[in-house]
Structure formats: structure tokens, C-alpha cells
């Protein structure tokens, strides 16, 4: 038999499989209806084991493992369909959807908190999102969360990820500790400048102050000018302020253009970062769930069962619904033996029934599920 003939036969078999799949799904509809009428939960782990064992046995030793994978996926699809038909009216997710129906508009003036001092990248992010902010500054990320919690501020602006340095783990951990919602996100381009009190030749500079990340992101500058001595400071804006107040005219800082202007510093060189693709993502958090009309991204925090294939099964569910995962991040769970909490970002809206049913499914089946928000990521 040649390849074309083999493929013709595969097509025929596939046709039969699809017909059987449709028959199975019609039976599943009957199960869903029965379970709804008799208040029986969708998930029946014992029955699933039975189905998997039977399929493995029928397939024989060679295909036992593969048929388990196939039937697990079939039952995932089955549960997805049942959950979308049997959403309980008291589901918290339904209350989010109801609130989402009234679109929220980010105010131009609001009480906004961020970590650091005026001129820090968080404050630049806050100004881009809220043109007339009543800005409050806090020493630690945790203080910003507490201020949101106590109603001292309406929004908190926090860095979550940098394109060179990676995720800001502490902010992820704080999101877990608080039941807050992400109202919006911002991708901010980070352009570092070499700044000093007076315009001068780089050759005359002695020390360069900045946050550790600022220094690390500008390694080439130090390689090309080996006489420059890097000095680590608590943050870029505080470094710029220090240089502006110093009587030593040979000091410089690495900061943003806005920060340099804020402290009356001169820009000696722009774009001194090694990598031109240097972005930081910020999240704008609120105490209560809100959704803007342009929201197209969803963030979740999940704890998966500690067994082979569990991440694969969750990812399959996104794939089955054609949902695009844009980020998958894991953080160790303190006190557990290398078990992880996962953060998923995907493109979607809570107003979409299939998304709502997937969220409900995850909420029902996983040890821990937290819906962190449905928002739009701005790039300004
Ligand atoms: O038998 C059931 O109770 C079903 O809901 C059907 C089914 C399946 O697709 O086979 C789906 C979900 C359950 O967890 C177990 C099995």
C-alpha cells in the first residue's frame, strides 16, 4: 500500500472516530441533564478511573499509556461541556460576570500608590495610567497592598515582570496573600540614561549610582568606560536624587529621562541599556473586581495536583477551547516539597461562556484556584 492509500484509510477511520466522538458527547449531554436535575456534581473521580482502566485494558500493553492520555482528554472535553451547562447560580464567577457587564472606566484622577520615590519607574507607570494621580509612595511592595486593603489608596501600581530580569516573585506572592483584582496592566519601555549635575565628558565621571538592575542592564557602558565605578543604590530615582544633592560634580546616575528632569539633572547619554528590548510590565490592582470594556486578558493563580501530567491536562483544556496562553509562571509553595503555584495569563473575556465554564471547571477541580482579573494591557 502506498502513502496515499494509507492516508485514505486513516481518513476513513478518523471519520468513524468523529462519529463516535459525537455519539459520546450526545450521551454526555444526557449525563449533564441528569446530574443537573438530581444535583449531582460533574466530577466523578471513581468513574474516571474505571473508564481509564477499561480503555487501557482494551488497548493492550503497547497502547495502554497512550489510550489513558486519549481518554483523559475525552473526559476533559466531556467535563468542559457539562460544566458549561451546569454552572451553579451562586458561583462567584457568575457574580464577576454580572459586574463585568457594567464596564469600568479607569479614572484620570485617583489615589494611587507605588513602591519607591517620585521618579521611580513605578511612578512613571502610575502617571501614564492616571494622568492626574494623587501619588502616594511606600517603602515596600507589601505596604502598597496594605494601603489598598485599608482603603488608603484606590489603586496600587506594581512591577510584575521585566523583559531582561524576569518576574518579580514578591509581587506574585503578595497577589496570593490578598484577594485583589488586576484592573489593568502596562508594558513600559525602560530607557536608561546616564545623567549628572552638569553636562560633562564621560571621562570625567568617577562613580555611577543606580539600582542593581539598572547597573546590570547597562553592562556595556561599564565595559566601554572601565574607569566608571558602579555603586548600587536602593532605586534609580533615589540614586538620581542623591547625585543631584551631592557636592561632588564627578558623580553620575543611571535613571529614566523623566527622573533626570525631575531632579534637574543633565542627560549625558541616552539609551545606555545593553538590550533595546527592555520592558517592565506593571499591574494596577484594586480591592474589588472591575473590568474595563477593552479587557482581553485573564490572570489566574492555580495549584495543580502533584502528579505526572497534571500541568499537561490543564494546558490541554486551554488548547481545546482555542485560548492563547500568554504567560505561565511558577512559584514554589513555602513548606512544600518542591510543589508549585502556577500563574496563567491567557487571552479571553469572562463574558465569554466557554471561558466562564473553563474557569468554573478549574475552580471545582483544583486544590487552589484564584481569579486575579480580566483586564487590558496597555503599552505606553
Ligand atoms: O459518568 C459520569 O458521571 C460522567 O459525567 C461522564 C464522564 C465521562 O466523560 O466519561 C465525565 C465526567 C466524570 O468525572 C466521569 C465520567
Q: How far is the CA of 361 from the centre of ligand 1 (A)?
A: 13
Residue 88 has pLDDT above 80, yes or no: no
Confidence of residue 154 (pLDDT cuts 50, 70, 90): very high
Pocket residue to mutate for ligand 1, from 51, 72, 80, 84, most atoms within 8 A of Cβ: 51
Instruction: Judge whether 29 lies within some domain.
Output: yes
The C-alpha cell of 218 is what? 547597562
Q: Exposure pattern of 75-97 as b/e (b: 16+ CB <10 Å)?
A: bbbbbbbbbbebbeeeeebeebb
Instruction: Judge whether 366 lies within some domain.
Output: no
Confidence of residue 60 (pLDDT cuts 50, 70, 90): very high
* Closest ligand 1 atom, residue 51 Cα: 10
**Which domain-ending residue is among 269, 300, 317?**
269
Mean pLDDT of the chain, nearest integer: 93
Q: Is residue 267 within 6 Å of ligand 1 at its C-beta? A: no
Q: Domain total for the chain?
A: 2
Confidence of residue 337 (pLDDT cuts 50, 70, 90): confident
Q: Exposure pattern of 104-116 as b/e (b: 16+ CB <10 Å)?
A: bebeeebbbbbbb
Instruction: Judge whether 228 lies within some domain.
Output: yes
Q: How far is the CA of 74 from the centre of ligand 1 (A)?
A: 10
The C-alpha cell of 4 is what? 496515499
Q: Which of 72, 236, 280, 286 is catalytic?
A: 280
Contact 218, 164 (CB under 8 A): no
DSSP 8-state symbol, 251 = -
Percent of the chain with pLDDT over 70: 100
Instruction: Judge whether 293 lies within some domain.
Output: no
Instruction: Judge whether 221 lies within some domain.
Output: yes
**Which domain-ending residue is among 269, 297, 316?**
269
CATH of residue 207: 3.40.190.10
CA gap 380, 377 in Å, rounded: 10
Specify which residues 341 forms β-bridges with: 303, 331
Q: What is the domain extent for residue 74?
A: 1-86
Confidence of residue 213 (pLDDT cuts 50, 70, 90): confident
DSSP 8-state symbol, 154 = S
Q: Which of 282, 318, 342, 344 is catalytic?
A: 282
Give the side-chain half-sphere CA count within 13 A for 195.
29
Q: Is residue 36 within 6 Å of ligand 1 at its C-beta? A: no
CA gap 198, 302 in Å, rounded: 51
**Which domain-ending residue is among 61, 86, 111?**
86
Confidence of residue 136 (pLDDT cuts 50, 70, 90): very high
Q: Is residue 304 within 6 Å of ligand 1 at its C-beta? A: no
Higher pLDDT, 283 or 76: 283
| Helix/strand/coil (H/E/C) assignment for every residue in 152-220 | CCCEEEEEEEECCCEECHHHHHHHHHCCCEEEEEEEEECCCEEEECCCCCHHHCCEEEEEHHHHHCCHH
Q: Can you give the pLDDT at residue 152?
A: 98
> Closest by alpha carbon to 168, among 135, 136, 141, 129?
141
Q: Can you give the pLDDT at residue 126?
A: 96
Q: How far is the CA of 305 from the centre of ligand 1 (A)?
A: 19
Instruction: Judge whether 178 lies within some domain.
Output: no
Alpha helices in the chain (DSSP H): 3-37, 45-59, 64-85, 92-100, 121-129, 141-149, 169-177, 212-216, 219-224, 236-245, 257-262, 310-320, 353-365
CATH of residue 45: 1.20.59.10
Instruction: Judge whether 118 lies within some domain.
Output: no
CA gap 263, 192 in Å, rounded: 15
Q: Is residue 51 within 6 Å of ligand 1 at its C-beta? A: yes
251 Cβ contact list (under 8 Å, min separation 6): 196, 197, 205, 206, 207, 208, 209, 242, 243
The C-alpha cell of 15 is what? 471519520
The C-alpha cell of 237 is what? 530615582
Confidence of residue 336 (pLDDT cuts 50, 70, 90): confident
3-class secondary structure, 165: coil
282 an active-site residue? yes
The C-alpha cell of 340 is what? 508549585
Pocket residue to mutate for ligand 1, from 27, 39, 47, 84, most atoms within 8 A of Cβ: 47
Instruction: Judge whether 80 lies within some domain.
Output: yes
Amino acid at each position: 500500500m502506498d502513502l496515499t492509500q494509507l492516508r485514505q484509510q486513516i481518513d476513513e477511520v478518523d471519520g468513524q472516530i468523529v462519529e463516535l466522538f459525537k455519539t459520546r458527547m450526545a450521551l454526555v449531554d444526557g449525563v449533564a441533564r441528569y446530574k443537573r436535575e438530581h444535583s449531582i456534581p460533574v466530577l466523578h473521580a471513581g468513574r474516571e478511573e474505571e473508564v481509564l482502566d477499561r480503555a487501557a485494558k482494551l488497548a493492550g500493553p503497547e497502547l495502554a499509556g497512550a489510550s489513558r492520555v486519549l481518554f483523559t482528554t475525552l473526559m476533559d472535553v466531556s467535563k468542559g461541556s457539562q460544566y458549561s451547562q451546569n454552572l451553579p447560580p451562586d458561583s462567584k464567577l457568575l457574580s464577576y460576570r454580572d459586574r463585568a457587564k457594567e464596564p469600568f472606566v479607569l479614572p484620570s484622577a485617583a489615589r494611587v500608590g507605588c513602591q519607591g520615590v517620585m521618579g521611580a519607574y513605578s511612578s512613571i507607570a502610575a502617571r501614564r495610567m492616571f494622568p492626574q494621580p494623587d501619588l502616594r509612595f511606600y517603602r515596600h511592595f507589601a505596604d502598597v497592598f496594605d494601603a489598598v486593603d485599608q482603603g488608603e489608596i484606590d489603586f496600587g501600581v506594581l512591577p510584575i515582570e521585566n523583559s531582561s530580569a524576569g518576574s518579580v516573585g514578591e509581587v506574585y506572592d503578595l497577589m496570593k496573600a490578598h484577594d485583589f483584582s488586576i484592573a489593568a496592566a502596562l508594558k513600559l519601555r525602560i530607557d536608561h540614561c546616564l545623567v549628572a549635575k552638569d553636562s560633562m565628558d564621560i571621562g570625567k565621571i568617577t562613580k555611577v549610582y543606580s539600582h542593581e538592575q539598572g547597573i546590570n542592564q547597562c553592562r556595556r557602558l561599564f565595559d566601554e568606560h572601565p574607569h566608571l565605578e558602579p555603586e548600587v543604590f536602593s532605586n534609580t530615582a533615589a540614586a538620581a536624587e542623591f547625585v543631584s544633592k551631592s557636592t561632588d560634580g564627578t558623580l553620575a546616575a543611571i535613571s529614566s529621562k523623566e527622573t533626570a528632569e525631575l531632579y534637574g539633572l543633565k542627560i549625558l547619554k541616552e539609551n545606555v541599556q545593553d538590550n533595546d528590548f527592555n520592558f517592565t510590565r506593571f499591574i494596577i490592582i484594586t480591592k474589588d473586581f472591575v473590568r474595563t470594556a477593552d479587557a482581553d486578558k485573564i490572570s489566574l493563580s492555580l495549584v495543580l495536583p502533584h502528579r505526572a501530567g497534571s500541568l499537561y491536562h490543564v494546558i490541554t483544556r486551554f488548547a481545546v477551547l482555542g485560548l492563547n496562553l500568554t504567560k505561565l509562571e511558577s512559584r514554589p509553595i513555602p513548606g512544600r516539597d518542591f510543589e508549585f503555584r502556577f500563574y496563567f495569563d491567557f487571552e479571553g473575556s469572562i463574558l465569554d461562556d466557554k471561558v466562564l465554564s473553563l474557569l468554573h471547571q478549574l475552580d471545582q477541580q483544583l486544590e487552589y484556584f484564584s481569579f486575579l482579573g480580566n483586564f487590558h494591557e496597555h503599552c505606553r
